[in-house]
Amino acid sequence: MRAKILALLLVAALIAAPLAVPLARAQEQPPELTGNWQQDVIALGKWFQAHGVTKIHFSVQAAGDPNSVMRMYGIVEAANRINKVWADNGINVKITVDTYWESDFKKQFDNFVTQYDLGQNGDFFVNSYIYIATLAADGRLLDITEWVQKYWNSVFSDFYAPLMKAAQYKGKYYGIPQDTEARPLYIRKDVAKCMGWDLTGLAEKVKKGEFTWADVFLKAKEAKEKGCADWGLIHRRGSAHPDLIQFIFAYGGKLYDNKTGKLVVDKTAIYKWFATEAAFADAGLLPRNILDWDWATQIHPTIVGESKAKGGTGNTLFDIGGTWYWTEWQTKDYYLDPHTHQKRPLTPEEVKEKFYYTLFPAGEKGDKPVTLSQPFMWMIAANTGKDNPHYNDPAYKKAYEELAFLIVVAASDPVINAVHSIISAHVPVRKQASALLKNKTFINNLVNLKLPFSQQVIDAIAPIVKKTANPINIEFLANVSYMLDYTHLAPSHPYYNKLADIFKDALDKVLKGEMKPADAVNYVVQKVKADPDLKDNTEIIGEIPAHWSLVPQATTTTSPAAGTQGTATTSPAQAQTTTGKKGGGHTGLIIGTIVLIIIIIAAWLAVRGKGQ
Amino acid sequence: MRASRTLNNPLFFLLPALLLIIVFYIIPLVITTWVSFTPLRNWRITLLSKYIGLENYRDLFYFITHDPDGILVLKTTVVFVVFTLIVNVLGGLLLAIATYIIEEKVSLTFRLLWLLPRMTPLAVFGLIWYYFFYGSPQGTLNAFLLHLGLIDKPYFWGTDPRLLPWSAWAIIVFVNGLVGVSYGMIIFYSAFKSIPPELITAAKVDGASTWQIIRHILVPMTRWHLVFVTVWQLLSLVTSYTHLFVLVDWRIVDKWHGTTWALFVFNEAFGDVKNQGLAAAAAVVLVIIGVLLGLVTLRIMRFSQTTPEPKGDL
């Protein structure tokens, strides 16, 4: 009997032993992060080594213009630095990083969400902060609040506060700012000179709110009337709504209510935005189909080009753009050279010679000038580390998450951030990086590619550095940095994209003369109310101002193409009538459709009966 | 004995087709129907287990009744399906008659030419129409009309509000018609070819005109094909969106004047919104409408009379 019991115990012990090992492992948690990067990296490396992990694999999904590749190589460089620390300390663990690049950041978001539940997404997602709300609400981003707090003093207190705020969703951190930008109003110096306009001191006037959108309109009109420009104003197409929603802020409106956490449709400000653009379009200063214009073949060639009269691609006096345009014009073939008749990039000197820049002017006297930032973020996927050994063990999972966070901390290094800012014309996210822009030694090292980066990263960015790292670009970045004091952020709300889409459709209708500005505001309201998600998450405030026009006492001229559109002013009552009619038509059509379906079914049944 | 019994079982022969239908139609339909009762968004597959009843259908009805563009989607769908169907069926019939009447060598070239739009990759086909309707003086249509002096300035044909809605609708019908018309042409042409030539010869000997031959021989003898092409094209058009997607996405036509119900389903699921639950609800409605329309058309066109029971014992 005793022998039987002993045998049973032995068998039980043999069965329990393999189970006990993972259990013991699971209880052995990785070291907690302390806020000291070097120390944390070494401790974590030792933990991995002790637990038999020698190879760790991560991947990064990043997006942006061709000069912004440090969004991807920043992670690669950070991993290489950790590898070096481990190697220096005799730790036999190595990280490898796969990189995935997509020029269209929306497409990269699509890739990320469709791949996520299949486990095919990247561990790092480098994209606009506007996706934080959506992804965090869906549980697809790692909550890094605890670690951000631990690294606050050593790293994150150096970041610009509004940008760190943009990394939050419902009070928790789901990302770390990677870069940001301002959206200046660019003014062509040669066009201004042609019309006899001295730009000296204009940036100051804009800053003080003395030069408003009414002045922009009058100057644009003058430029066109004097034959100096083909267009008065050019801006990007509808997908670039951040450029355009600056109008809402410039007219003193808002898009988000911090107290309720809801989106805001500010009818007054939106009406003024639409009316302003309508005035430009009616006067032939802004192409009616600008929202259909192509980025590379129409928009930029017109911004940088010579007038059509001179055989160029057309030109404009004003352009609403972003800071990154500055280097994009130097790397892309947008300029049609009148001498060679070939397209080529502009030189830094030419860009400086052609463009003046200011803040986005105030809507009216008394309003404030603005700019808008849409910072990019390093985001860590909630399933980071999924491709590595023992991921399903909570201890290992936590270790991979900690390592991913340490990689992001390393990627936020001031040198990496400053290099990225210079070569992509984005604004640094932290003060130490901003200081480096004024550091001559650093600049010299960058120009000569003497950077503390691994050879893999230096090789990747060398051609871009060659084209973009020069004193003119660095001076530009330093000059636009003040704009961040005037910056606004687009709402970080899961349904903001839906609202932005409605703005885009409404503006398109206004520009093409399909709707008057007041009708378009009512269209926005109607669309918001028709969408249960938006309806529950949006406040509608303000009223359409009666008899408001961009330029008081002067009505804008009606171009033949304007169709039903005359002046920039519209009676709200008129708009109500139009919308009301539409609503009535709907009910009729719905009933009509239902009746039609019933008739078809009845006919079918009748025919069927006859057949039998 | 056993093998012979197996071969006599109709299920044995039906099985391959049934399997294909179950795997590629029934199961996706069941999944789509289930998704329509869930809050699936952003491809968050874990949400598939959450049942929310008829919420998506309520939202869909709310969209149609309250959104200014909701009703436009319905109008566009009706116009697109009806007019493209007319083009595809009658156009196909006319082309088939034309190719049947003319000399075989010429006919072959002619048929091949009409098949080109169907054979051209979607992106290339879209690009052709992009430049054709392009709103600058360099756009093919504008350049042509300007040259003839019929217009004095270029038009954005598919988006100019003065020309909407019919300009956009005409473009989507025209472009899709060009692709679809060749299908009817091939079916009708082969049907004409299967008619015993003696009948045509006899009619000619009796002094029948071409019109009389068409009216009394060609069309009546290809009634089954007419019904088939009509129903097939109808169901295809109700669910078709690829060419429309290119036309809308490349801004050849106005967004809402080019969006049919099928494209709305696609955009809801794969566009910026990514509301797969709502898209699935819209897709289920589309399937129901498609089935009803198909059955009604078959009844109205008396499809059963065109397919008599086989004679003799099996």
Which of B50, B299, B307 best tests the A interface by mutation, with the highest count of A CBs <10 A? B299
pLDDT over 80 (residue A154): yes
Amino acid at residue number B258: G
Kindly write down the DSSP assignment for every residue of B102-165, as one continuous string. Answer: S-HHHHHHHHHHHHHHHHS-HHHHHHHHHHHS-SSTTSHHHHHHHHHTS-SS---TTT-TTTTT
How much is the average pLDDT of A300-328?
91
Q: Give the separation between CA A221 and CA A224, rounded to whole angstroms.
A: 5
pLDDT over 90 (residue A127): yes
Does A611 touch chain B if contact means CB atoms closer than 8 Å? yes
Asked if B47 contacts B38 with a C-beta cutoff of 8 angstroms, the reply is yes
What is the tens place of the pLDDT at every residue in B185-227? 999 999 999 899 889 899 989 888 888 998 899 888 888 899 8
What is the tens place of the pLDDT at every residue in A475-491? 898 889 889 889 898 88
Angle at A362 between CA A358 and CA A363, to 5 degrees: 135
Q: Any residues with CB less than 8 A from the CB of B11 and at least 6 apart, and which?
A: B18
Q: Which pLDDT score is estimated for A592?
A: 52
Per the CB < 8 Å rule, is A579 touching B68? Answer: yes
Q: Give the separation between CA B245 and CA A301, rounded to whole angstroms.
A: 27
Does A105 touch chain B if contact means CB atoms closer than 8 Å? no
557-576 in chain A: CB under 8 A from chain B? 563-564
Which of B62, B71, B138, B293 best tests the A interface by mutation, with the highest count of A CBs <10 A? B71
Does B251 touch chain A if contact means CB atoms closer than 8 Å? yes
Report how many Cβ contacts below 8 Å link chain A to chain B: 104
A433's enclosing H/E stretch is helix A431-436
Kindly write down the DSSP assignment for every residue of A473-522, as one continuous string. Answer: HHHHHHHHGGGGGGEEE----TTHHHHHHHHHHHHHHHHTTSS-HHHHHH
Per DSSP (E only), the strands in A92-193 are 94-102, 124-128, 168-169, 172-173, 176-179, 185-188
Per the CB < 8 Å rule, is B74 touching A531? Answer: no
A372's enclosing H/E stretch is strand A371-373
A154-158, A406-410, A567-571: least confident range: A567-571
Q: Which pLDDT score is estimated for B53?
A: 93
Q: Give the separation between CA A487 and CA A183, rounded to whole angstroms.
A: 9
The phi-psi region of residue A312 (left if phi > 0; otherwise alpha if psi is between -120 and 50; otherwise beta) is beta
User: Distance between terminal CA atoms of chain A?
Assistant: 84
Angle at A59 between CA A159 and CA A147, to 5 degrees: 35
Q: Any residues with CB less than 8 A from the CB of B228 and at least 6 apart, and which?
A: B187
pLDDT band at A605 (very low <50, low <70, confident <90, very high): low
A370-379, A404-413, A557-566, B289-298: least confident range: A557-566
Question: How many residues are present in chain B?
Answer: 314
Amino acid at residue number A142: L
Question: How many CA atoms lie less than 13 Å away from A83 in the CB half-sphere?
Answer: 16
Question: One fold for both A35-181+375-486 and A185-373+495-570?
Answer: yes
Which sign, positive or negative, has the C-alpha torsion B270, B271, B273, B278? negative
Does B272 touch chain A if contact means CB atoms closer than 8 Å? yes
pLDDT over 50 (residue A24): no
Q: Which pLDDT score is estimated for A481?
A: 84
B8-17, B26-35, B251-260: least confident range: B8-17
Q: Which pLDDT score is estimated for B313?
A: 59
pLDDT band at A5 (very low <50, low <70, confident <90, very high): low
Q: Give the separation between CA A279 and CA A275, rounded to whole angstroms.
A: 6
Q: Which pLDDT score is estimated for A585?
A: 41
The CATH code of domain A35-181+375-486 reads: 3.40.190.10
pLDDT over 50 (residue B12): yes
Give Cα A74 distance to the centre of its chain.
18
Contacts of B255 in chain A (CB under 8 A): 505, 508
Q: How far is the CA of A63 from the CAs of A73, A107, A377, in angstroms?
A: 12, 9, 11
Distance from CA of A532 to the nearest CA of B (A): 7
How much is the average pLDDT of A247-264?
93
Tokens encoding B30: 């069941």
Asked if A97 contacts A61 with a C-beta cutoff of 8 angstroms, the reply is no
pLDDT over 70 (residue B43): yes
- Kindly report the backbone phi and psi dihedral angles of residue A314, in degrees, each rounded to the nearest multiple of 5, phi listed first: 100, 155
Distance from CA of B85 to the nearest CA of A (A): 18
Distance from CA of A146 to the nearest CA of B (A): 26
pLDDT over 90 (residue B7): no
Query: How does strand A185-188 pair with strand A355-358?
Result: antiparallel
pLDDT over 70 (residue B56): yes
Mean pLDDT of chain B, nearest integer: 89
Nearest in space to B118 (alpha carbons), one of B82, B96, B88, B85:
B88
pLDDT band at A12 (very low <50, low <70, confident <90, very high): low
pLDDT over 50 (residue A115): yes
Q: Which pLDDT score is estimated for A579?
A: 37
Angle at A437 between CA A433 and CA A439, to 5 degrees: 105
Compare B90 and A551 and report the one with higher pLDDT: B90
In A251-347, alpha helices (H): 267-282, 300-304, 325-331
Asked if A67 contacts A330 with a C-beta cutoff of 8 angstroms, the reply is no
Q: Give the separation between CA A357 and CA A371, rounded to whole angstroms.
A: 12
Distance from CA of A302 to the nearest CA of B (A): 15
Q: Give the separation between CA B295 and CA A82, rounded to whole angstroms.
A: 67
pLDDT over 80 (residue B164): yes
Q: Which pLDDT score is estimated for A538?
A: 96
Q: Which pLDDT score is estimated for A26?
A: 47
pLDDT over 80 (residue B129): yes
Q: Which pLDDT score is estimated for A15?
A: 55
A121-135, A469-483, A580-594, B101-115: which is most confident: A121-135
How much is the average pLDDT of B51-66?
93
pLDDT over 80 (residue A580): no
- Kindly report the backbone phi and psi dihedral angles of residue A55, in degrees, each rounded to the nearest multiple of 5, phi listed first: -125, 130
Mean pLDDT of chain A, nearest integer: 86
pLDDT band at A375 (very low <50, low <70, confident <90, very high): very high
What is the tens place of the pLDDT at every residue in A57-92? 999 999 988 889 999 999 999 999 999 999 999 999
pLDDT over 80 (residue A559): no
Question: How many CA atoms lie less than 13 Å away from B172 in the CB half-sphere?
Answer: 38
Q: Which pLDDT score is estimated for A604?
A: 54
Fold of B61-120+164-306: MetI-like fold (1.10.3720)
What is the tens place of the pLDDT at every residue in A277-303? 999 999 999 999 898 888 888 899 999
Pick the CATH number of A185-373+495-570 from 3.40.1190.20, 3.40.630.40, 3.30.428.10, 3.40.190.10: 3.40.190.10
Tokens encoding B286: 């589309």
pLDDT band at A582 (very low <50, low <70, confident <90, very high): very low
For A269, other C-beta atoms within 10 Å of its C-beta total 26
pLDDT band at A586 (very low <50, low <70, confident <90, very high): very low
Does A600 touch chain B if contact means CB atoms closer than 8 Å? yes
pLDDT over 90 (residue A522): yes
Amino acid at residue number A358: T
Per the CB < 8 Å rule, is B67 touching A116? Answer: no
3-state secondary structure of A124: strand
Asked if B40 contacts B276 with a C-beta cutoff of 8 angstroms, the reply is yes
Distance from CA of A498 to the nearest CA of B (A): 7
How much is the average pLDDT of A137-165?
94
Torsion, Cα B65 B67 B71 B77, to 10 degrees, reads -120
Torsion, Cα B41 B46 B48 B49, to 10 degrees, reads -140
Asked if B241 contacts B266 with a C-beta cutoff of 8 angstroms, the reply is yes
By percentage, how much of chain A surpasses pLDDT 90?
66
Q: Which pLDDT score is estimated for A13?
A: 54
pLDDT band at B262 (very low <50, low <70, confident <90, very high): very high
A2-11, A153-162, A574-583, B157-166: least confident range: A574-583
pLDDT band at A537 (very low <50, low <70, confident <90, very high): very high
Compare A596 and A503 and report the one with higher pLDDT: A503
Nearest in space to B245 (alpha carbons), one of B268, B223, B276, B229:
B268
A56's enclosing H/E stretch is strand A55-63
B35-65 burial: b if 16+ Cβ within 10 Å, else e: bbbbbbbbbbeebbeeeeeebbbebbebbbe
The crossing angle, in degrees rounded to 10, of helices A70-88 and A37-50 is: 70
Helices (H) and strands (E) in chain B, counts: 18, 0
